[in-house]
Structure 1
Amino acid sequence: MTRSESSLGITPIVSTSMADQVEERLREYIANKAFKPGDAIPKEIELAEALGVSRNVVREALSRFRMLGIIETKKRRGMILAQPDILSGLERMMQPHMLGADTRKQIFELRLVLEVGQAALLFARKTEEGLQKLQEIVHREGQMHTLPEKVECEIAFHSTLYEMAGNETIKRFQTMLMPVFEYVVDIETSHQFHAVGSVTHQGLINILRNGTPEEFASGMLKHLEPHFRFLT
């Protein structure tokens, strides 16, 4: 029997605070009224009267919305619905030493999903300038002899791919994941591990020039595969 199920098969009532309930009601209200960023939100006293609770309870619920960037206060306009920054909270928490080994591994796997999944964007938005930048990184990589130097080229190459994809949210997400990636690379370096996948950086460039998005996705899987073998 699970926690969410009683002996009679009835889901028990979950005890929540008044502020939790008000927060839920306000989320429903905003969704049902189809508020858009910039739309004014009723005043605290109006919300308190409509919900039948004190202004302090409403204020606590609204403060949570402010922390999440859902609402903001504008001079002469009062509270308005904001354009929430969906990644800001994750950015503050993305500290490798605060994350367990399983979480770090899953985040590293998320990197694979992103890099494979952006193949179509890369082919739609690739430019000769971007391809040349990748080629210069590969040329520089060939002149490097130490493991840290090669790792630096690895990061530069993949960061350039994100830039070429041209999606700011994906690029920002990649930047957010970078501390975890660097943490994993540090672990690999301590074990003197830097295996190259069956598809190299040069191989990926060749596919970008003459191949298809499907071939690139497959190539990226093969390129990153040694990292995942190391983590498992």
Structure 2
Amino acid sequence: MGDALRPMARPRLYEQVIDRLREYVADAGLGAGDKLPAERELAQRLGVSRTSIKQAIVVLQVQGLVEARHGGGTYLVADTLDAEPVENLVERRKRLPDVLDAREAIETKLAELAAERRTTSDLDAIEAALDHMRQEVAEGEHGVEGDRRFHAAVTEAAHSVLLAEFMSSIADQITESRNESLRQPGRPARSLTQHIAIFDAISLRDGKRAAAAMRRHLRTVAKVRLLSWNPEDETDGDSEAGW
């Protein structure tokens, strides 16, 4: 038998809060840098507990849509609150640890090989990727394309057909981990600095140093709020009746 009669999932209350916040931001014409009402006010106006408001804010933070400043309120990072469906986040949260483990295992070796095998044209390609990411960061962007180019250039510099094929086989998952990491506050500039350290080691043909620099970088990449978020943490007892 199929699973058509499987138990129906109850919509999480904080997902409904997110929907209301998205409508509010659009109706009020708010944009990046604007402040949302205080949690207490939102809870009163929506008829839910502050716990549900906090859960909604955390989900929006995980997606890089808002920034919660300690003691200073919550501010929009983007011009809309077009949040991903929570189920997408849940599925990515399940995949991410394996992807990050694979990246550390493969890319650390790639950096070591790149230091040993790189050519002048390889160094030029890596440096061009750094310049691209540097420009993106200077313009306030996340540096996603520059990051992609950098890791692709290091992979190319390793001159390992098989490892390059492994990287290609998980390209979509790597893109997910890249986007997840680079939307963490302050992460683009930090990643750029770490890329430069990797490049310096590759330039010096220091394989051990290049591998260590790549490992440090990928362990930073792995520090994302999504992995500490618990999507099932609903203990406030709110019900749809409160709406």
With structure 2 as the length reference, what TM-score do the two structures score? 0.49
* 8 Å Cα contact 1:137-1:153 kept in structure 2: yes
Q: Classify 1:156/1:119 alpha carbon distance in 2 versus 1 (closer, same or farther; 3 Å).
A: closer
What amino acid does structure 2 have at the position aligned with 1:224?
L
Q: Deviations over 1:30-85 (max 9, x none)?
A: xxxxxxxxxxxxxxxxxxxxxxxxxxxxxxxxxxxxxxxxxxxxxxxxxxxxxxxx
Distance 2:121 2:112 in 1: 18
Count of residue pairs the alignment pairs up:
136
Q: RMSD of aligned C-alpha atoms?
A: 2.7
Shift in Å at residue 186 of structure 1?
Answer: 3.4
* 8 Å Cα contact 1:108-1:180 kept in structure 2: no
Distance 2:152 2:126 in 1: 10
Distance 1:198 1:137 in 2: 10
Shift in Å at residue 120 of structure 1?
Answer: 3.7
Gap regions ≥5 residues in structure 1: 1-95
| Bigger mean CA offset, 125-134 vs 112-121 | 112-121
Task: Report the structure number with the largest CA radius of gyration.
Answer: 1
Indicate yes or no: 2:93 matched with 1:101. Answer: yes
Indicate yes or no: 2:155 matched with 1:154. Answer: no
The residue number in structure 2 matching 1:133 is 125
Distance 1:190 1:197 in 2: 11
What amino acid does structure 1 have at the position aligned with 2:179?
D
Which protein has greater RCO, CA pairs closer than 8 Å, 6+ apart?
Answer: 2
The residue number in structure 1 matching 2:175 is 182
The residue number in structure 1 matching 2:71 is none
Distance 1:159 1:178 in 2: 10
Query: Which of 209, 218, 222 is the aligned partner of 2:212?
Result: 218
3-state SS, counterpart of residue 144 of structure 2: helix
The residue number in structure 2 matching 1:209 is 203
Gap regions ≥5 residues in structure 2: 1-87, 229-243
Indicate yes or no: 2:103 matched with 1:116. Answer: no
Distance 2:206 2:159 in 1: 18
Indicate yes or no: 2:222 matched with 1:228. Answer: yes
Q: Classify 1:98/1:166 alpha carbon distance in 2 versus 1 (closer, same or farther; 3 Å).
A: farther
Shift in Å at residue 125 of structure 1?
Answer: 1.6
Distance 1:168 1:139 in 2: 26
| Bigger mean CA offset, 151-160 vs 176-185 | 176-185
Q: Classify 1:154/1:167 alpha carbon distance in 2 versus 1 (closer, same or farther; 3 Å).
A: same
Q: Classify 1:119/1:143 alpha carbon distance in 2 versus 1 (closer, same or farther; 3 Å).
A: closer
* Identity rate, percent: 15
Q: Classify 1:119/1:140 alpha carbon distance in 2 versus 1 (closer, same or farther; 3 Å).
A: closer
Shift in Å at residue 100 of structure 1?
Answer: 6.1
1:1-232, aligned counterparts within 5 Å? 101-144=93-136, 145-148=139-142, 150-188=143-181, 194-195=187-188, 196-197=190-191, 200-210=194-204, 212-230=206-224, 231=227
* 8 Å Cα contact 1:116-1:220 kept in structure 2: yes
Q: Deviations over 1:11-45 (max 9, x none)?
A: xxxxxxxxxxxxxxxxxxxxxxxxxxxxxxxxxxx
3-state SS, counterpart of residue 131 of structure 1: helix
Shift in Å at residue 147 of structure 1?
Answer: 2.9
Q: Deviations over 1:140-182 (max 9, x none)?
A: 222222434x111001100111111111221121112111121
